Structure 1
Amino acid sequence: MSDTIKKVCVIGAGTMGAGIAAQVANAGVPVLLLDIVPKEGANRNAVAEGAVAKMLKTEPAPFMSKSAAKLVETGNIEDHLDKVAECDWVIEAVIERLDIKQGLYAKLEAVKRDGTAVSSNTSTIPLANLVEGRSEAFKRDFLITHFFNPPRYMRLLEIVTGPATDAGVAAKVEQFADVSLGKTVVKAKDTPGFIANRIGTYWIQLGLNAAFDMGITVELADAIAGKPMGVPKTGVFGLVDLVGIDLMPHLQASLTSTLPAGELYHGIARDIPLINKMIGEGYTGRKGKGGFYRLNKEAGRRKETIDLQTGEYRPTVTAQGPRGAAAKGDLKALVESKGEIGAYAWAVLGDTLAYAASLVPDAASDVVAVDDAMKLGYNWKSGPFEMIDKLGAKYLADRLAAEGKAVPAILTVAGDRTFYRIENGKRQFLGLDGEYRDVVRPEGVMRLADVKLSSKPIIRNASAALWDIGDGVVCLEFTGKMNALDGEVMKLIGQAIPLVAAQYKALVVYNDADTFSAGANLGLALFAVNIAAWGEIEKLVAGGQLAYKGLKYAPFPVVGAPAGMALGGGCEILLHCDAIQAHAELYCGLVECGVGLVPGWGGNGEMIDRWRNAPGMPKGPMPAVAKVFEMVSTAQVSKSAQQAREMMILRKGDGISMNRDRLLYDAKQKALSLVEDYTPPEAPEFKLPGAGGRTALGLAVEGFHKRGMATDYDVVVSGVLADVLTGGDAFDLVDTVSEGEMLKLERDAFMGRLRDDRSVARVEHMLETGKPLRN
């Protein structure tokens, strides 16, 4: 049996199966996508081919790059099932019918190699039923791998093994899913709904029931059971609209038919006439004519909400939800709020947490698995047991008992203790035996949050910190809101460089946050503009240039490790690193033109240098400048790390980590690999195209303007950018431009734009709305 997975087969090209195939391709692994032969038409592969074509047009995109689609081979199960013999893992994602699945497995058993893993993406059918009648050899290779939709963006993968499943086969799938597909694997028991959907469905049903029973409006229900609980702002009703109202009866039927008698879910499952009526009339949520919320196109796309009592739509209102501490994550304050807010919050949260607690160890081995499943599968900020710690296990147990409800055994075990604690710098969890155990990370997983449990920063200020992450490597962390960059960050970089040079080997720029950096602190810049502190602003721009070039020419390797958004100045710091190890989900670009500015911290020169050295780039000063102008003037942002590579933000030798939890470890290893015989790069010199190049770029912008694709002020900002990229008034085609001279062109252009009221209006609008102003 091979320990590696070199090719995957996905059978079933529906939304989920196609999405799984796309994620395998995103990992750079060939994948065979099969489906049935259509009843009509000459193309026997039409179903699978159509799925790929649809994904290439879908937003958010299942493919991280259009080039990934080339790794998907399409076919059908009648003509191409024998190709399964080429594959190391077969994923079945067909309709949730046992007879169809079992019929497929019988055919697979005849063609697959021994040791090739076969898994079902089911979330409703027990594993024991799936493999009934199959050979012992097939059972050894079989498991359940339950992906969440959309597979590219949802990190959770629940894995269920049977008593006959070979441990080596399961380990091979788990390793591939973790490292190559970027999944956090949670091991679930072979129980109905596994972990996330069992708790999630229970929570949704409680939320629906309580709103109908208590006369709570849809808006208020979502305002209570959303952000205040650490749940996405969709809340309960918004989430049902998102996943599809018509899915709810199917989930309920599945759980009620498979859960044992006496199970708590049977006590809350109910038929809701309004939901049946909505489904019958096509109001199935966002994919239909609307759901609990809808946009009334006949009334100018007015947002409307259904009245749960009358079943009629009315204009959506802003609910007066929880206030104060109850609105900010204090769960005890929330459930103890007066009136309907506290009553609804307790009705939903209290019973959900009690239900989650009752599932250990029957559905999950420990509290960590439950918490990971809900955080990753439903995007909860805290898992159920982390929420119980906020409420207090004894508080929850006492209140349940006072209401005559069963108290789960694990709450009794906890008593007045917490389910998680920090001991000797280690995060520990409480087991059913009453003992605490360390939370163990898989090999190669490293989190800065874990480092912080057992250490203090080497240096820190209000906006950044420097941490020792072991083996002579330090981590530069941004800590401001949205990890915005300001003078304090630049000051700390200046302090870090001589310190690292004297005592350490390498530096990694990284943080645990969802946003690497949203760029320069625009609020601070706007404040300085309003008081005409031009000298301070120029000092900040020059200080950023000095700090970034200090990193670039430091006597030790610097590796950028971004995840999520890396915009403006957040992109520019990456451009000054020796190497980048990026998370696959990287949204990166120089976006300054969108707020009426131009990149001012060295980004223009670094991008020209990248593009002029790109493979296949024509010689001469104009091709690279034209590429950079196209990207920067339109504020282009990558939609993945692979796209960032295509934009030359990532270069040859830069790496991509599929699993977010492995990014810091991977970046540290890359930094260490650069230490031996390290020498800083040489400063580049530029040949810029001068006035002729500036004219050519101006003609292109004018064309966009005439077609209505660029505003009047876009033309002005683009013209200033063109000046910088082509050499301004000071340099022409025959001149050699130093890096320092390039920086001055940037700095002067940045300051000029910031003195323009139209740029100030763009900055203000972005800060107020989060959207660009098209003036």
Structure 2
Amino acid sequence: MAAHISKAAVIGSGVMGASIAAHLANAGIPSLLLDIVPKSLTAEEEAKGLTLESPTVRNRLAAGALAKLPSIKPSPLYDDAFVSRITPGNIEDDLHRIKDVDWVIEVVVENLAVKQSLLEKIEAHWKPGTIVSSNTSGISINAMAEGRGDAFKSHFLGTHFFNPPRYMKLMEIIPGEQTDPAIVSQMSAFSERALGKGVVVAKDTPNFVGNRIGTYGLLATLQVMADKRLTVDEIDAITGPAMGRPKSATFRTLDLVGIDTFVHVANNVFEKVDNEAEKAVFEPSQLLKDLVARGWIGEKAGGGFYKKVKGEKGSEILSLDLGTMDYAKGKKPASASLEAAKAAKGAKEKTKAMLGGKDKYAEAAWEIVKLTLVYAAEKVGEIADTIVDIDKAMKWGFSWELGPFELWDAIGLVRSVERMEAEGTQVPAWVKDWIAAGNKSFYQKEAGSVAYAYDGKFRAVEQPREIISLRALKEQNKVIRGNSGASLIDVGDGVAALEFHSPNNAIGADILMMIQQSVEEVRKNYDSLIIANEGRHFCVGANIMLLLMEAQDEEWDEVDAIIRLFQDTMMKLKHFEKPVVAAPHRMTLGGGVEVCLPADEMALNAETYFGLVEVGVGLIPAGGGCKELTLRLSQANPNSEVDLQPHINELFLNIGTAKVSTSAHDARGLGYLRSNDRVIMNQDYLIYEAKQAALRLTQAGYEAPRAQKIRVVGSDGKAVLKMGALGMHQSGYISAHDLLIAKKLAHVLAGGDVPANTLVTEQYMLDLEREAFLSLCGEPKTQQRMQHMLAKGKALRN
């Protein structure tokens, strides 16, 4: 059961505290944001005649932090309006108000004495039953709680958000010795469902789980770099995607985190562990100390291991030469192992290719991996109960594609341990015992479930029933039918799920045919249909490679057939007599949006970036996107006396500028969502929530939507849209080809050359879309844009 949190208080309004308050606001939870009272006035406050007793002065720190939230990039808020859910205040005047909240989060400086002092003040106003937590990255929870009462201790724990809180999935929950286990369970469930987090329960040890392994791995990498005499660029080439890790790799990550912050985190372990060998590893190197002394601590100081400078051809990134301590243009490393890793597909194969080479980069990668894997194995039971917890912490907190034990399985557990021991590396006894018992991996799959090594035997990974895995269902032979682009899967209770699995989930003829077949299958044998997948992105749009090839060959009948197939398929979805629920996540662009719009409901992950972006490749939406959105505007404003023009103008601007939402909530603000479309915080629960929506619609006695006429603004409205586009062209904001596209779009959105308030059919609007799309496909500059997108992955302005 999740904790009931209806209101919270965040104490400490620094970057982390304000961002945590922002994420609570994202989740719909109002909060107090409190900080200390300033000890002096600013010049501006003096000029206004304010004093240290003025409320605006006393609340300055928290209020100032809130004022900055909308300008932070990437934004900590799903919608800038959510900042109104946060109330600023100060500790001296407002701490008593915590009696009205359900959760108090301490987010002050990482100093034990400061935290202890604040907790003493919090307890003085504490209401029994209120949960209190510390957002510490490594200070002992038990040490913080010293001197507090038993009742308070039972409700006190660590809740370590990783930065930035909105975007990083990991939440480490750290119980103290006296924390009520029920509170741990309730906060874990709350953090997962309400805040969208992936929770790892950590032991109260220095730096907990993620930072313990991550810091060790970075320090081990620095040691290998020194031993192998490698450069900053070489190490980052090795420790990025070539090993299933982020592009920021090692040194860009350090620059982002802040080298001074990293040194502080490393020192925390160095000062608190007793093992001399471990202590030696965590002592920050002289290089790191020198960089901190110079003030070269990363991006926040203008440079660290990398530095951005302006050159004759614009900005360029220089890297630090560790021999001369000068910045210079780096050389892109190249080797057989790096090329093999680049060519391989997926993190497992990339890492195997990287480690399987014979060059110096492969040797360095092996040393880094070997040290990290052995250390992670040594810490099982000490920092977390299971290998699963450690793997999750590294994937969710450091964006590794494979956790340490998953990586060990990928490269071959038995073979790699044999190599380690041959090189004189001491492998933890439990790992050797595990292999001696006949086991060849830490994880094993069986009938769609996963088990992991635990206490000498395999234990099943517990999966909440609210998490539906399409991958697991496919392994259980639940596929109803499928082709190269999509599959229809039985998810139980009369619900079938349509999953895209083409490259990038781009929509081609295979997916469209599968949608049509799915409609027929569900019509005969199921109660409802959901459209969902577990790809990195829901759908990046239509297969423009196919369209470009047909356009270049001037096969206009083929292009027309493709668009007709898309439109007809979407109309089948829209008017299907059984419920359809779409569950988009992350990138949902172009044709991906057009697949979602006909659905009866959408269950969107909060981090959904939703937009009709076809103008970026010189086209307009033609799969029903223009039609569906103008229909919604007409339905919302059926009275002909209501002026549709302002709404059409906004839609024209959104589509014409290829605007993409920054979140699902932003998509609502852009007019893409209806009142019944729901935002789901945790993507892991998205398919379950879509299924529940489908069941709910079925049980309510679903009736398919009837065909409706669309009220359009007509030729007069089109003239308004074209005038706006012409003004942008004359001002230099858009090119001549952009203007041509805008005129085509205006013609479609306005409903063509008919009088204002004319009622037209859906098919009429689809015909306008298709005609405009076909004409643009024949334009050389549109074909150039399509070619550029395929080659470079970004839009061309021509």
TM-score relative to the length of structure 2: 0.94
Contact between 1:598 and 1:717, CA under 8 Å: does it hold in 2?
yes
Which residue of structure 1 aligns with residue 528 of structure 2?
A: 506
Which residue of structure 1 aligns with residue 171 of structure 2?
A: 157
Contact between 1:201 and 1:251, CA under 8 Å: does it hold in 2?
yes
Contact between 1:614 and 1:648, CA under 8 Å: does it hold in 2?
no
CA distance change for structure 1 residues 131 and 443 in 2, over 3 Å: closer, same or farther? farther
Q: CA deviation at 1:619?
A: 1.8
Which residue of structure 1 aligns with residue 229 of structure 2?
A: 215
Which residue of structure 1 aligns with residue 302 of structure 2?
A: 289
Contact between 2:498 and 2:532, CA under 8 Å: does it hold in 1?
yes
CA distance change for structure 1 residues 472 and 144 in 2, over 3 Å: closer, same or farther? same
Contact between 2:23 and 2:77, CA under 8 Å: does it hold in 1?
yes
Deviation per CA, 1:35-86, whole angstroms, max 9, x where unpaired? 1112223421111111111111111110100121110111111110011001
Q: CA deviation at 1:261?
A: 2.1
Distance 1:325 1:159 in 2: 39
Distance 1:749 1:231 in 2: 43
Instruction: Please identify, of 458-467 and 244-253, the stretch whose mean Cα deviation from structure 2 is larger.
Output: 244-253
Deviation per CA, 1:83-124, whole angstroms, max 9, x where unpaired? 100110111110001111011111110112101111001122
Distance 1:624 1:686 in 2: 14
Distance 1:438 1:238 in 2: 37
Q: Partner amino acid for 2:590?
A: G
Contact between 1:422 and 1:453, CA under 8 Å: does it hold in 2?
no
Q: CA deviation at 1:490?
A: 0.7
Which residue of structure 2 aligns with residue 539 of structure 1?
A: 561
Question: How does 1:23-34 map onto structure 2 within 5 Å?
Answer: 23-34=23-34
Q: Partner amino acid for 1:745?
A: L
Question: How does 1:568-583 map onto structure 2 within 5 Å?
Answer: 568-583=590-605
Q: CA deviation at 1:535?
A: 1.3
3-state DSSP of counterpart to 1:186: strand
The answer to whether 1:455 aligns with 2:468 is no
Contact between 2:133 and 2:156, CA under 8 Å: does it hold in 1?
yes
3-state DSSP of counterpart to 2:479: coil
The answer to whether 1:494 aligns with 2:508 is no
Q: Which runs of 5+ in 1 are unaligned?
A: none
Q: Partner amino acid for 2:789?
A: M
Distance 1:707 1:39 in 2: 50
Contact between 1:611 and 1:628, CA under 8 Å: does it hold in 2?
no
Instruction: Please identify, of 739-748 and 673-682, the stretch whose mean Cα deviation from structure 2 is larger.
Output: 673-682
3-state DSSP of counterpart to 2:698: coil
Q: Partner amino acid for 2:296?
A: Y
The answer to whether 1:136 aligns with 2:150 is yes
Contact between 2:391 and 2:406, CA under 8 Å: does it hold in 1?
yes
Which residue of structure 1 aligns with residue 669 of structure 2?
A: 646
Instruction: Please identify, of 77-86 and 3-12, the stretch whose mean Cα deviation from structure 2 is larger.
Output: 3-12
Contact between 1:610 and 1:648, CA under 8 Å: does it hold in 2?
no
Number of aligned residue pairs: 772
Q: Which runs of 5+ in 2 are unaligned?
A: 42-49, 51-56
Contact between 2:116 and 2:144, CA under 8 Å: does it hold in 1?
yes
Distance 2:110 2:646 in 1: 54
Which residue of structure 1 aligns with residue 497 of structure 2?
A: 475
Instruction: Please identify, of 646-655 and 617-626, the stretch whose mean Cα deviation from structure 2 is larger.
Output: 617-626
Contact between 1:611 and 1:648, CA under 8 Å: does it hold in 2?
no
Which residue of structure 2 aligns with residue 419 of structure 1?
A: 442
Which residue of structure 2 aligns with residue 666 of structure 1?
A: 689
Which residue of structure 2 aligns with residue 678 of structure 1?
A: 702
3-state DSSP of counterpart to 1:78: helix
Q: CA deviation at 1:352?
A: 0.3
Q: CA deviation at 1:332?
A: 4.2
Which residue of structure 1 aligns with residue 648 of structure 2?
A: 625
Which residue of structure 1 aligns with residue 47 of structure 2?
A: none
The answer to whether 1:637 aligns with 2:657 is no
Structure 2 counterpart of 1:735, from 753, 758, 764: 758
Which residue of structure 2 aligns with residue 10 of structure 1?
A: 10
3-state DSSP of counterpart to 1:205: helix
3-state DSSP of counterpart to 1:674: helix
Deviation per CA, 1:498-547, whole angstroms, max 9, x where unpaired? 11011001111101112100000111111112222211111110000011
Contact between 2:452 and 2:459, CA under 8 Å: does it hold in 1?
yes
Q: CA deviation at 1:334?
A: 2.6
The answer to whether 1:696 aligns with 2:710 is no
Structure 2 counterpart of 1:246, from 252, 260, 267: 260
3-state DSSP of counterpart to 2:375: helix
Which residue of structure 1 aligns with residue 621 of structure 2?
A: 599
Q: CA deviation at 1:687?
A: 2.0
3-state DSSP of counterpart to 2:498: strand
Distance 2:150 2:242 in 1: 50
Deviation per CA, 1:635-678, whole angstroms, max 9, x where unpaired? 11111111111122111111111011011101100010001311
Distance 2:403 2:551 in 1: 44
3-state DSSP of counterpart to 1:539: helix
Which residue of structure 1 aligns with residue 130 of structure 2?
A: 116
Instruction: Please identify, of 420-429 and 194-203, the stretch whose mean Cα deviation from structure 2 is larger.
Output: 420-429
Which residue of structure 1 aligns with residue 748 of structure 2?
A: 724
Which residue of structure 2 aligns with residue 312 of structure 1?
A: 326
Q: CA deviation at 1:20?
A: 0.7
Instruction: Please identify, of 246-255 and 654-663, the stretch whose mean Cα deviation from structure 2 is larger.
Output: 246-255
Which residue of structure 2 aligns with residue 563 of structure 1?
A: 585
Structure 1 counterpart of 2:70, from 56, 62, 69: 56
CA distance change for structure 1 residues 424 and 727 in 2, over 3 Å: closer, same or farther? closer
Distance 1:270 1:165 in 2: 32
Deviation per CA, 1:695-743, whole angstroms, max 9, x where unpaired? 11112112222332222221111111000111223x3325321111110
CA distance change for structure 1 residues 330 and 516 in 2, over 3 Å: closer, same or farther? closer
CA distance change for structure 1 residues 412 and 209 in 2, over 3 Å: closer, same or farther? same
CA distance change for structure 1 residues 719 and 430 in 2, over 3 Å: closer, same or farther? same
Which residue of structure 1 aligns with residue 385 of structure 2?
A: 365
3-state DSSP of counterpart to 1:466: strand
